[in-house]
Amino acid sequence: MPRGLAAEATALDDGDVLRAVRKEFALDDGTVYLDGNSLGALPRTVAGRLAEVVGDEWGRLRIRSWTESGWWEAPERVGDRVGRLVGAAPGQIVVGDSTSVNVFKAVVAAVRLAGPGRDEVLVDAATFPTDGYVAASAARMTGCRIREADARDIPGEAGPRTAVALVNHVDYRSGRLHDLAGTTAAVHAAGARVVWDLCHSAGALPVALDAHGVDLAVGCTYKYLNGGPGAPAYLYVRRDLQPRFDSPLPGWNSHTDPFAMDSAYAPADGAARGRVGTPEILSLLALDAALDVWDDVALTAVRTKSLALTDFFLRCVEAYAPEGRVESITPAAHAERGSQVSLRCADGAAGVMAELIRRGVVGDFRRPDVLRFGFTPLYTGFAEALRAARVLGEVLAG
């Protein structure tokens, strides 16, 4: 092991301002976990909180917990906690449903907000597949055409026929970070709306939805927010758009008087207008407990560590990997990088990742040739980045 890298890893870990947060996670199995961009690690408090919810709130109070335990207000209450992490003032985010369902709500609602003659849904060509599927379905349903463009070109592609642009803040495959502020401003200048998918950025870097005038945004909570497998997603609707937000999925939970059981739909005010059916209480409250680890964490510190980790890992890969075996497809420029490193491995990438996992370095693989390593600043250290690169080098050499 090169002494310089080992000493640097130790010094960086010793100076890590987020080091104490790591103790809040169950990470005792000795693996290097670099897959938080797919499923975040378990915060230690979640199991106890879930036991309390199941045993006391569901087990003892039962139906009374909708009022006595605050279940009914949980989608908005937890939404406000997520809002702090994505730059949204209270009252603009509701937690519930899946990311896919929320993409559908947001895209259709954005088309309905568009002015006459706007019949185009502009989609990031490299988007996560489900976003593309949902956008195409939403376009068919609303009489729009779908058009793809490179996310970096969307500012110039939005035009007089564009109703909405659907863009991923961070590309799931390459880790490229796109320009939220500039793209939003350009799409608005063209008279259109923008929907941002924050799945790979929320909890990994600062997001300023309010400051940049974003119209609508969606995201999952099981990646960098550590909400657990299948944790509910969230929907952001900018405050001034809420009175005109026309959801394609009106449900009794988003009715202004849900228990009136009125046959005519009248939408609720505020973020609750984004609700549909009965909230996913167990997973929602697990997420609520998971968000406790963020209470004293500054997103600027998270971003600083994220960039330092990914920089360091890339240097370690250069030192350990045999020349020509892997190539980074993640941008080197900090302004264009999320919190993952994706390496193209043209020869046997699937087998390489399987062997890494067997040796205790957990990343993931995207066909045909991409090795992905997600760096979660709350619990990933520099010594782990060094170990991951060293093991990768050994696997590639072998």
The pLDDT of residue 2 is 73
Catalytic residue among 25, 128, 234, 313: 128
Cβ pair 5, 319 in contact under 8 A: yes
Q: pTM for this one?
A: 0.98
Tell me the pLDDT tens digit for each residue of 174-203. 999 999 999 999 999 999 999 999 999 999
Segment 285-309 mean pLDDT: 98
Model confidence at 1, pLDDT cuts 50, 70, 90, reads: low
Catalytic residue among 81, 372, 387, 390: 372
Helices 299-320 and 382-397, axial angle in degrees (round to 10)? 30
The arithmetic mean of pLDDT across residues 101-127, rounded, is: 97
Q: How confident is the model at residue 172 (pLDDT cuts 50, 70, 90)?
A: very high
How far lies 157's CA from each of 123, 164, 215, 272, in Å?
Answer: 10, 11, 18, 33
CB atoms < 10 A from the CB of 237, how many?
Answer: 27
Point out the catalytic residue in the list 16, 197, 288, 369.
Answer: 197
Arch. (CATH architecture) of 48-294? 3-Layer(aba) Sandwich (3.40)
E strands in 178-301? 193-197, 216-219, 234-237
Q: Of 25, 172, 222, 313, which is the active-site residue?
A: 222
Distance CA 150, CA 328 (A): 20
Residue 244 has pLDDT above 70, yes or no: yes
C-alpha span between 230 and 228 (Å, rounded): 6
Residue 23 class from Cβ within 10 Å (0-12 exposed, 13-18 middle, 19+ buried)? Answer: exposed
The reply to whether 200 sits in an annotated binding site is yes
Q: Is the pLDDT of residue 123 over 90?
A: yes
Decide if 222 is catalytic.
Answer: yes
Examine the pLDDT at 143 and tell me if it is beyond 90.
Answer: yes
**Residue 222 among known ligand-binding residues:** yes
Q: Please, what is the average pLDDT of the chain? A: 97
> What are the tens digits of pLDDT across the range 69-101?
999 999 999 999 999 999 999 999 999 999 999
Question: Does the annotation mark 128 as catalytic?
Answer: yes
pLDDT of residue 141: 96
Structure confidence at residue 146 as a pLDDT band (50, 70, 90)? very high
The pLDDT value given to residue 368: 97
pLDDT tens track for 360-374? 999 999 999 999 999
Which superfamily is assigned to 3-30+297-397 in CATH? Aspartate Aminotransferase, domain 1 (3.90.1150.10)
> Average of pLDDT values for 386-390?
98
Cβ atoms of 389 and 316 closer than 8 Å: yes
Nearest-angstrom CA–CA distance, 93 and 284: 14
Give percent of the chain with pLDDT exceeding 70: 100
Q: Where are the domains of the chain?
A: 3-30+297-397, 48-294
